[in-house]
Structure 1
Amino acid sequence: MLPPRAPDSPLSVLHAVQPGDGGVARVVVDLVRDQIRAGTRVTVACPPGTPLADAVRAEGAGVHAWRAGRDPGPGLVRETLGLARLIRTARPDLVHAHSAKAGLCARLAVRGRIPTLYQPHAWSFEAVDGTTAALARAWERFGARWADRILCVSEAERRTGEAAGVTAAWSVVHNGVDVARFASDGPPRNPAPTVVCVGRLCRQKGQDVLLAAWPAVLADVPTARLVLVGDGPDGDRLRAAAGPSVRFTGAVDDTAPWYRAADVVVLPSRWEGMALAPLEAMASGRPVVVGDVDGARESLPPAHAPLCLVPSEDPAALAAALGRLLGRPELRERLGREAREHVLSSFDVRRTGAAVAELYRELAGVRGTEHREPIAQ
């Protein structure tokens, strides 16, 4: 058993994270930065050599190499035991597990012995079908007993969990973005109307739906150009399906210049908790078109939904929405101004950090001074 934390000592938090890139990593980096500035003692367990590991180390967090893959598999026992060792080494007052894989391993490793916060960042069972989806739902229902709180990034994500039979103590804290970082100096001055999609090239983000819609967009706006920013497992297949009006940038260190270069930003996801890319685009003063999945409606200004929210996996509806905005520059400018004001008022990352910090204080106080170790080997 670990000694109790002194009342005047700083709170100690361990973030267990898999994946080490993409939107989840950006959320974790923002949280870590805010927590270190507030005096929290922060440790991050994540795959080594990832953008996340480098970024949180630069912020001053302790970083432990946790060699975990994205998907469950034969290495699950090794990954869980490895995380248990890291937790014993870090001796945190609270464990914050991000995404399905880390949530699985952390809850198995800790099993309620340390206050545990699980943040799905979109539910695992939405990414799969059939028997695999049924097993994922069953695990989420069972594993909820080992989370003191499940933190969702949208009310829609919470409702999806409840509909799947997950019974938990819930909190909802919307994702936030650094509004100063994404500020722009006005609309772009492109020689041709430009649509930008920022996201990992994978089934979740729906770039295949966007490419299926693109010929209809070109029929309305023949000079339009599409830029896909990011890389991922579907990159080769998407490149093979794209025409000459589509550009692939690959992975980039900074997405902000691409938002500023866009007339419209699009993210036709199949599932999300609450995607960061639309929030970042709106912080840049750009109108967004998004698939109607968890968190999408909550992220938009309410008046924008009829124009900017389209059914998931519907290329015709997506093409119609993009063509409508590309053909009306004055509408784009108005929507962009309203979008930035919306993010400033509701999705500033500082609000997110403050809400999570309050949740930490609540959970750390639930157990008083009792603090036991995770499972031993």
Structure 2
Amino acid sequence: MHLPATGPAPRVLHLTQPVEGGVARIVADLARAQLAAGWDITVACPDGPLAAALRLLGAKVRPWPATRSPGPSLAGETWRLARIVEDVRPDLVHAHSAKAGLAGRLAVRARIPTVFQPHAWSFEAVGGVPAVLALGWERWAARWAARVVCVSEAERRRGVSAGIRGRWAVVPNGVDPDRFRPGRAVRPPLLTDLGPRARLVVCVGRLCRQKGQDVLLAAWDRIAERVPDARLVLVGDGPDRTRLRALAPASVRFTGAVADAAPWYRAADVVVLPSRWEGIALAPLEAMACGRPVVLTDVDGAREVLPPALAPHCLVPPTDPAALAGAVGALLLDPALRASAARQGRAHVLSAHDIRRTARAVAAVYGELLGGGPDAAAWPVVPTEYRESIQS
């Protein structure tokens, strides 16, 4: 956004409940870019890795204790956000993901230009009555968002087909291709006992139903039978950790939460994300930026991150262990196919999913709302030194 040289720096208040994983990294990306542009940036979030990283960047952080799901605490969470908004007096509020989108829009109610970014729709994450309530809320609350920013065209179409009458913008997620870049594959300490012939399959993501690690574990016997020296590593933590450990054979490694996923991508022969639904996941973009082939499920948002030429080899139906095993096994056994997929994936990230491109697109949305015009060319280059403190 182009700002007059004598004008005050715009004040932006970001709201987020997740403090780890993809949403947290996106908030950190935007805060870094906006601080570099000289903007006054405050983030309201629970205490955790994101808050620590933001303080290192120079952002103002307002503690906002909030649970992940709606419940009896919602009234107090909304009241606390309203007090934060009153104190910060932002020019624009940017609410990320379902919980901050719920409490934030209730607290502001369009009195200040509000951007809502769902990062995957809440009504897709639940079933039954909760899904009906979530959808009803999204339809009602769209009136309180000056823009609804979707991370993929598929996410926008899903909202439209669900009856949400939003004022839409599509800004695909991006990653930093200077940080996530090809490099020498060095096995992390957890894997140093593996023999030199072991071929490594890595899945990076929150251990939860959405990410589909249970489907990958269901496929693993088929993969191991076809490729006996294959080994699987699940990188991340989450509510399904105990259940997944019970499903996994003893040879599967669990890393827990990690501060930096890049070494795990570089150590992998194939990176897998068997999601049941997505907005646009960062993990496959980061893996492709690191020059690694990926296998994804054919769900909204996931298919958009792949170059079309790779879809026949790297895209499989969701919740289909046999198809997942076939695609992973084929890549493990074909070095030429892996190398070609790696080259095409890296080129696709550079052309369509560079984080600097994402930051400029968000700046254009802000510019339209704040009256400065969509002068995205004035947005600064995003520096690269902050991701280590945001857990995957």
Q: Same fold (TM over 0.5)?
A: yes
The residue identity in structure 2 corresponding to 1:356 is V
Q: Aligned-pair distance for 1:240?
A: 1.2
Alignment-derived partner of residue 371 in structure 1: none
Any idea what SS the aligned residue of 2:255 has? strand
Distance 1:67 1:187 in 2: 39
- Map residues 323-362 of structure 1 onto 2, 5 A cutoff: 323-362=329-368
The residue identity in structure 1 corresponding to 2:62 is H
RMSD: 1.6
1:295 correspondence with 2:301: yes
Is contact 1:193–1:263 with CA below 8 Å preserved after alignment?
yes
Is contact 1:216–1:316 with CA below 8 Å preserved after alignment?
yes
Alignment-derived partner of residue 34 in structure 2: 35
Alignment-derived partner of residue 236 in structure 1: 242
Distance 2:291 2:364 in 1: 30
Percent identical residues: 65
Is contact 2:91–2:113 with CA below 8 Å preserved after alignment?
yes
Alignment-derived partner of residue 374 in structure 1: none
Any idea what SS the aligned residue of 1:340 has? helix
1:276 correspondence with 2:275: no
* Aligned match for 1:95, one of 77, 89, 93: 93
Alignment-derived partner of residue 202 in structure 2: 196
Q: Residue deviations 1:149-168, cap 9 Å, x none?
A: 00000000001111111001
Structure 1: gaps spanning 5 or more residues: 367-377
Is contact 1:187–1:263 with CA below 8 Å preserved after alignment?
no
Q: Aligned-pair distance for 1:186?
A: 5.7
Q: Aligned-pair distance for 1:291?
A: 1.2
Is contact 2:176–2:355 with CA below 8 Å preserved after alignment?
yes
1:151 correspondence with 2:157: no
- Map residues 1-377 of structure 1 onto 2, 5 A cutoff: 8-48=7-47, 50-185=48-183, 191-365=197-371
Is contact 2:177–2:349 with CA below 8 Å preserved after alignment?
yes
Distance 1:341 1:6 in 2: 37
The residue identity in structure 2 corresponding to 1:18 is Q
TM-score by length of 2: 0.90
Is contact 2:148–2:166 with CA below 8 Å preserved after alignment?
yes
Is contact 1:187–1:333 with CA below 8 Å preserved after alignment?
no
Any idea what SS the aligned residue of 1:13 has? strand
Q: Aligned-pair distance for 1:121?
A: 0.2
Any idea what SS the aligned residue of 1:271 has? coil
Is contact 1:207–1:268 with CA below 8 Å preserved after alignment?
yes
Distance 1:161 1:97 in 2: 17
Distance 1:298 1:138 in 2: 27
The residue identity in structure 1 corresponding to 2:295 is V
Q: Aligned-pair distance for 1:191?
A: 2.6
Comparing 292-301 with 349-358, greater Cα deviation is found at 292-301
Alignment-derived partner of residue 192 in structure 2: none
Is contact 2:17–2:66 with CA below 8 Å preserved after alignment?
yes
Structure 2: gaps spanning 5 or more residues: 188-195, 373-392
Q: Aligned-pair distance for 1:6?
A: 11
Comparing 290-299 with 198-207, greater Cα deviation is found at 290-299
Distance 1:73 1:293 in 2: 29
The residue identity in structure 2 corresponding to 1:137 is L
The residue identity in structure 1 corresponding to 2:36 is R
Structure scoring higher RCO (CA < 8 A, sep ≥ 6) equals 2
Q: Residue deviations 1:181-239, cap 9 Å, x none?
A: 11123667953111000001111110001000100111110110000000111111111
Distance 2:137 2:5 in 1: 36
Comparing 92-101 with 353-362, greater Cα deviation is found at 353-362
Is contact 1:199–1:277 with CA below 8 Å preserved after alignment?
yes
Distance 1:277 1:265 in 2: 9
Matched residues, number: 362
Alignment-derived partner of residue 373 in structure 1: none
Q: Aligned-pair distance for 1:93?
A: 0.1
The residue identity in structure 2 corresponding to 1:36 is L
Distance 1:19 1:188 in 2: 30
The residue identity in structure 1 corresponding to 2:20 is D
The residue identity in structure 1 corresponding to 2:37 is A
The residue identity in structure 1 corresponding to 2:35 is I
Q: Aligned-pair distance for 1:294?
A: 1.8
Could you say if the C-alpha distance between residues 16 and 192 of structure 1 is closer, same or farther in structure 2, counting changes exceeding 3 Å? same
The residue identity in structure 2 corresponding to 1:71 is S
Distance 2:320 2:260 in 1: 30
Distance 1:271 1:143 in 2: 23
Distance 1:154 1:26 in 2: 17
Comparing 81-90 with 5-14, greater Cα deviation is found at 5-14
TM-score by length of 1: 0.94
Alignment-derived partner of residue 379 in structure 2: none
The residue identity in structure 2 corresponding to 1:28 is V
Comparing 64-73 with 181-190, greater Cα deviation is found at 181-190
The residue identity in structure 1 corresponding to 2:60 is G
Any idea what SS the aligned residue of 1:250 has? coil
Distance 1:134 1:95 in 2: 27
Distance 1:358 1:11 in 2: 14
